[in-house]
Amino acid sequence: MPESAKTRLLRWKFNFFPAYRGTGGRITYIADDFREVRVKLPLSWRTRNYVGTIFGGSLYGSVDPILMIMLIHCLGPEFVVWDKAATIRFRRPGKTTLVATFRLDETELDAIRAATAGGDPADRVYDVDLVDAEGVVHASVQKVIYVRRK
Protein backbone atom coordinates (compact mmCIF):
# COMPACT_ATOMS: atom_id res chain seq x y z
CA MET A 1 0.00 0.00 0.00
CA PRO A 2 1.40 3.42 -0.89
CA GLU A 3 2.03 6.23 1.54
CA SER A 4 -0.52 9.02 1.70
CA ALA A 5 0.30 12.70 2.08
CA LYS A 6 -0.71 12.35 5.75
CA THR A 7 1.66 9.46 6.46
CA ARG A 8 4.50 11.07 4.48
CA LEU A 9 4.14 14.21 6.58
CA LEU A 10 4.02 12.16 9.80
CA ARG A 11 7.14 10.25 8.71
CA TRP A 12 8.94 13.52 8.01
CA LYS A 13 7.92 14.97 11.41
CA PHE A 14 8.85 11.80 13.24
CA ASN A 15 12.30 11.67 11.65
CA PHE A 16 13.00 15.25 12.76
CA PHE A 17 11.62 14.81 16.29
CA PRO A 18 14.77 15.16 18.46
CA ALA A 19 14.14 12.12 20.68
CA TYR A 20 13.76 9.83 17.67
CA ARG A 21 16.38 11.54 15.53
CA GLY A 22 18.92 10.90 18.28
CA THR A 23 18.57 7.12 17.85
CA GLY A 24 20.05 7.34 14.37
CA GLY A 25 17.08 5.42 12.95
CA ARG A 26 14.90 6.74 10.18
CA ILE A 27 11.36 5.75 9.30
CA THR A 28 11.39 5.08 5.56
CA TYR A 29 7.76 4.06 5.00
CA ILE A 30 4.38 4.31 6.71
CA ALA A 31 1.45 2.64 4.95
CA ASP A 32 -1.63 4.77 4.45
CA ASP A 33 -3.56 2.54 6.90
CA PHE A 34 -0.65 2.38 9.42
CA ARG A 35 -0.48 -1.42 9.15
CA GLU A 36 3.10 -1.42 7.91
CA VAL A 37 6.07 0.68 8.94
CA ARG A 38 9.70 0.31 7.88
CA VAL A 39 12.69 1.61 9.80
CA LYS A 40 16.28 1.91 8.58
CA LEU A 41 19.24 2.11 10.95
CA PRO A 42 22.57 2.85 9.24
CA LEU A 43 26.00 2.33 10.76
CA SER A 44 27.31 5.89 10.97
CA TRP A 45 29.37 8.11 13.25
CA ARG A 46 26.15 8.77 15.23
CA THR A 47 25.28 5.10 15.75
CA ARG A 48 28.75 3.60 16.03
CA ASN A 49 29.90 2.32 19.42
CA TYR A 50 33.43 1.96 20.81
CA VAL A 51 34.15 -1.24 18.84
CA GLY A 52 32.78 0.05 15.52
CA THR A 53 29.36 -1.63 15.43
CA ILE A 54 25.86 -0.22 15.91
CA PHE A 55 25.26 0.90 19.49
CA GLY A 56 22.68 -1.23 21.33
CA GLY A 57 20.75 1.86 22.38
CA SER A 58 20.32 2.82 18.73
CA LEU A 59 19.15 -0.70 17.87
CA TYR A 60 16.44 -0.56 20.51
CA GLY A 61 15.61 3.15 20.31
CA SER A 62 14.97 3.03 16.57
CA VAL A 63 12.19 0.43 16.98
CA ASP A 64 10.86 1.38 20.44
CA PRO A 65 7.85 3.63 19.71
CA ILE A 66 6.69 2.13 16.42
CA LEU A 67 4.23 -0.59 17.48
CA MET A 68 2.49 1.64 20.01
CA ILE A 69 1.98 4.36 17.41
CA MET A 70 0.75 1.86 14.82
CA LEU A 71 -1.81 0.44 17.26
CA ILE A 72 -2.99 3.91 18.31
CA HIS A 73 -3.70 4.77 14.68
CA CYS A 74 -5.19 1.38 13.75
CA LEU A 75 -7.46 0.97 16.79
CA GLY A 76 -8.60 4.57 17.06
CA PRO A 77 -9.36 6.96 19.91
CA GLU A 78 -11.57 4.56 21.86
CA PHE A 79 -8.49 2.59 22.97
CA VAL A 80 -5.66 3.28 25.40
CA VAL A 81 -2.34 1.90 24.12
CA TRP A 82 0.92 1.89 26.10
CA ASP A 83 4.30 0.22 25.89
CA LYS A 84 4.52 -2.07 28.88
CA ALA A 85 7.78 -4.01 28.55
CA ALA A 86 10.51 -4.86 26.10
CA THR A 87 13.50 -7.14 25.71
CA ILE A 88 16.23 -7.11 23.13
CA ARG A 89 18.48 -9.94 22.12
CA PHE A 90 21.68 -9.06 20.32
CA ARG A 91 22.44 -11.84 17.83
CA ARG A 92 25.24 -10.38 15.70
CA PRO A 93 27.13 -7.10 15.71
CA GLY A 94 25.55 -4.55 13.38
CA LYS A 95 28.25 -3.67 10.86
CA THR A 96 25.99 -2.43 8.04
CA THR A 97 22.61 -0.75 7.64
CA LEU A 98 19.84 -2.69 9.37
CA VAL A 99 16.13 -2.65 8.60
CA ALA A 100 13.06 -3.49 10.69
CA THR A 101 9.61 -4.07 9.19
CA PHE A 102 6.50 -3.87 11.37
CA ARG A 103 3.19 -5.31 10.19
CA LEU A 104 -0.27 -5.55 11.73
CA ASP A 105 -3.00 -7.54 10.04
CA GLU A 106 -6.77 -7.41 10.48
CA THR A 107 -6.72 -10.71 12.39
CA GLU A 108 -4.52 -9.17 15.09
CA LEU A 109 -6.66 -6.05 15.33
CA ASP A 110 -9.81 -8.18 15.60
CA ALA A 111 -8.17 -10.26 18.35
CA ILE A 112 -7.39 -7.08 20.31
CA ARG A 113 -10.94 -5.81 19.91
CA ALA A 114 -12.33 -9.18 21.07
CA ALA A 115 -9.93 -9.43 24.04
CA THR A 116 -10.88 -5.95 25.26
CA ALA A 117 -14.61 -6.10 24.46
CA GLY A 118 -15.58 -6.78 28.08
CA GLY A 119 -13.58 -3.83 29.38
CA ASP A 120 -10.59 -5.89 30.48
CA PRO A 121 -7.11 -4.83 29.39
CA ALA A 122 -4.98 -7.06 27.16
CA ASP A 123 -1.23 -7.42 26.90
CA ARG A 124 -0.09 -8.18 23.36
CA VAL A 125 3.38 -9.49 22.55
CA TYR A 126 5.12 -8.57 19.30
CA ASP A 127 8.49 -9.57 17.87
CA VAL A 128 10.51 -7.58 15.36
CA ASP A 129 13.94 -8.31 13.92
CA LEU A 130 16.59 -5.89 12.73
CA VAL A 131 18.07 -7.49 9.62
CA ASP A 132 20.79 -6.64 7.12
CA ALA A 133 20.43 -6.56 3.32
CA GLU A 134 20.83 -10.35 3.13
CA GLY A 135 18.10 -10.93 5.73
CA VAL A 136 20.51 -11.95 8.51
CA VAL A 137 19.06 -11.12 11.94
CA HIS A 138 21.33 -8.90 14.05
CA ALA A 139 18.92 -8.09 16.89
CA SER A 140 15.48 -9.30 17.96
CA VAL A 141 13.18 -7.09 19.98
CA GLN A 142 10.13 -8.33 21.84
CA LYS A 143 7.60 -5.69 22.87
CA VAL A 144 4.68 -6.09 25.27
CA ILE A 145 1.92 -3.59 24.53
CA TYR A 146 -0.92 -2.85 26.97
CA VAL A 147 -4.31 -2.19 25.33
CA ARG A 148 -7.71 -1.43 26.83
CA ARG A 149 -10.88 0.33 25.88
CA LYS A 150 -11.45 3.80 27.32
Query: How many independent structural domains does the chain possess?
Result: 1
φ, ψ for residue 76, nearest 5 deg = 95, 180
124-150: pLDDT as tens digits: 999 999 999 999 999 999 999 999 999
Q: CA 123, CA 141: separation in Å to the nearest integer?
A: 16
- Report how far apart, in Å, the C-alpha atoms of 11 and of each of 15, 69, 104 are: 6, 12, 18
Q: What residue type is 146 in one-letter code?
A: Y
DSSP code for 22: T
104-129: pLDDT as tens digits: 999 999 999 999 999 999 999 999 99
Q: What is the model's pTM?
A: 0.93
In sequence order, which residues have a C-beta less than 8 Å from that of residue 141 and are 6 or more positions away?
59, 60, 63, 86, 87, 88, 89, 100, 127, 128, 129, 130
Q: Residue 44 sits in a domain of what CATH number?
A: 3.10.129.10
Domain containing 30 equals: 5-149
